[in-house]
Structure 1
């Protein structure tokens, strides 16, 4: 690869820097707070409990 072009040399240096900045920005923007995680866990637990009740009711002939 010939790096004699100044523009190509600049892009080889600036490109990875811009990529690293974009990845860092995305990682910072996609962080979840503890409240978000707790809310998600509680909602999942409630869905599992509801499904379990429905399964037990079906297995017992419709009696909960």
Structure 2
């Protein structure tokens, strides 16, 4: 097997292995429903707090 045939195999097999690795990572990178819900709740609380802070600042410090 010479260098050009090895390079040809790598050009074909490389992208296939990369696609498999990306697909595996996408399917195994999901959190549980409880984790996702906890994140959503924390984000909502953070936005609500920021909104209250903005309104207090706009009203001269009165919430």
Could you state the TM-score of these two structures normalised by the residue count of structure 2?
Answer: 0.64
CA distance 1:8–1:61, shift in 2 (3 Å): closer
SS at structure 1 position matched to 2:53 = helix
The runs of 5 or more residues in structure 1 that have no matched partner are none
Quote the offset at 1:9 in angstroms.
6.8
Which residue pairs with 2:27 in the alignment?
A: 28
Quote the offset at 1:30 in angstroms.
0.7
Quote the offset at 1:17 in angstroms.
4.7
Which residue pairs with 1:47 in the alignment?
A: 46
CA distance 1:15–1:58, shift in 2 (3 Å): closer
The runs of 5 or more residues in structure 2 that have no matched partner are none
Could you state the TM-score of these two structures normalised by the residue count of structure 1?
Answer: 0.63
Query: What is the aligned-residue RMSD (CA, Å)?
Result: 2.1
Following superposition, which runs of at least 4 residues in structure 1 exceed 2 angstroms of deviation?
5-21
